[in-house]
Amino acid sequence: MKNLLLFLAVFASFAFWACSNEKDVAGISTVETENAFLIQFVRGDSLPAANVVARMRSVEYVRSVEEGGAAGGAAENAGDSPAKAEFFSEFVTDSLGCIRIDSLAVDVATLEVVDAGEGLFKKISAEDIKDGDSVRFVLEKTGSLRGKVHLPEGVDHAWVQVYGSDRLVKTDAQGFYAMDSLPPFEYELRYIVGDSVVEGSATVDAAKETSAYVYAFEPDSVKILDFESDSAEFFITDLGISVEGYMRVTDTNVVTTPDVDAGVASFIEDAGAGREGRALHWKSSAAVGKWSFFGTWICKEESPCDISATDSIVFYARGTGVISIAFETLGSSNVEGKTLAYDTLATDGEWSRRVIKPSNFKPRDDLYGNLGWDVISKALTTISIAAYDDTEFWIDDVVLYGVKPSNFVER
C-alpha cells in the first residue's frame, strides 16, 4: 500500500512537470506562450483528469430564462458590459489533465469542471493569467442544493440562476427547487420571482446536500400539519421537510381505532363530510385522565424553534369529545416540558374552524411537565394532538399565524 501511494505521489509530480512541457495542451495552441497560465486537474485519487471539459465564464453571467431557459443570455443586470457578461471559453484537458490559458477577456471569470461525480468551481482573475503561473486543482465530490422560494400571490413559479455558470432551474408550483452535481463552492445565486429579483448565496460542500431558502416573500403563517400523505412520513409543504409521525397511548387500558400498533398511516384517510383532501382520524376509549395521542418532530433537538410570536393556532376538526393541542420541548440537550390547550368538540359530523390563542394554553403548574406557553414557545421541538376519555374526531390543516416559515428553518 505504501508503495502504491508513493508511486501516485511521484506520478502526480511528474505529470504536473510534464504538463508545462507538452506542446499540444488542450488543443488551444501548439506554441509555448510566455506567461501562460497552466492548470492541471487531478481527481481525488491523484490521477490526472484527462479529456474532461473545463468551462470559463464571466462572474457576471447567468443563463437566460427566455425561451424556457435557453442558454446564451447575459445577466439582465450586467450593466454597461453585456458583452463581458457573455464571455465564454471552453477547454478539454490533455492526457495529463492539463489546460493552458493564454489570456482572459474579463477581469474575473469562473472555471467549472464537472465529470463522473467530481468537480471544481473556481474564480480566476486576469491578473493571474497576466502573471503566469502553474497550479494544480483537485476535483472533489459534487454536492447538491435544495431550497424553496416563497411565491407571492399570483406567481406560480420562480427561476433560480447561478452566477458564473449556465445552471438554471425552475421551481415547482410550491416554490421548491433542486440542483445536483454542484462542485463545492460558495455560490452567488439569483432568483427571479415574478417581476422581482432577489440575490442570495449558498455554500455547497463536497458530497453533501445544502439548503437555500428565499424569505423575501414568506407569509406570516405556517401550516405545520396537513396530512395529505398517506404514509407515516409526510411532507410539511410550508417548511419543505419530511417528518415521521407516531401514535401513542398513555396506558395499556386505552383502546384506539385503528390500533396504535398499526402505524400512523392507518390513521390518515379521506377527510369526508364535504372536505377535500386527507385528514387524521381516530377513536379513543379511555378511563378518565387517560389519553392517546399523535405526535411529530417539527424542529430538531439541537436547534429548537421560537414560535413565541404566534398570534393564534387555527385548525379544522369534526367529531365529539375532548382533544388538546400541545407543543413540547424534547431532547436531552433541552429543558424538557410542554404547554397545552384543550378543545371540546361537538360538531354533529360537520367540519368547523377552531381557533386557539396563546392565552388559552394552560398556565404553568409543572404537573406532568407543564411549563407553560412562555417557556415552551421559545424552544419548540414537537407538536402532539391528544384525545381524552371517549372521543372520536378528525383534524386537518393546523396553521400557526403570526410566525414565518423562517422561524422553523435552521440557518
pLDDT of residue 83: 56
Nearest CA to 136 among 47, 21, 203? 47
User: 394 — phi, psi (to 5°)?
Assistant: -120, 140
| Cα–Cα distance list, 213 to 148, 209, 242, 363 (Å) | 5, 13, 16, 36
The one-character DSSP state at 184 is S
pLDDT of res. 34: 56
pLDDT for the residue 332: 86
Superfamily of domain 143-211: Carboxypeptidase-like, regulatory domain (2.60.40.1120)
pLDDT in the model for residue 229: 85
Domain boundaries, the chain: 2-58+66-140, 143-211, 221-407
Cell matching residue 25: 495542451
Report d(CA 171, CA 178) in Å as an integer.
8
Question: What is residue 8's predicted lDDT score, i.e. its pLDDT?
Answer: 43
Contact 406, 218 (CB under 8 A): yes
Q: Which residues of the chain have pLDDT under 70?
A: 1-18, 20-35, 67-84, 410-411
Q: Do domains 143-211 and 221-407 have the same CATH topology?
A: no
Distance in angstroms (rounded) separating the CA atoms of residues 351 and 333: 39
What pLDDT does 316 receive?
98
Per-residue CA distances from 190 to 106, 199, 316, 367, 392 (Å)? 21, 5, 38, 51, 49
Instruction: Report whether CATH 1.10.357.10 matches the domain 221-407.
Output: no
Residue 193 CA to residue 149 CA, distance in Å, equals 8
User: Would you call 57 helix, strand, or coil by DSSP?
Assistant: strand
* Alpha carbon distance 194, 125 (integer Å): 34
116: phi then psi, degrees, rounded to nearest 5: 50, 45
Q: Which CATH superfamily is domain 2-58+66-140 in?
A: Carboxypeptidase-like, regulatory domain (2.60.40.1120)
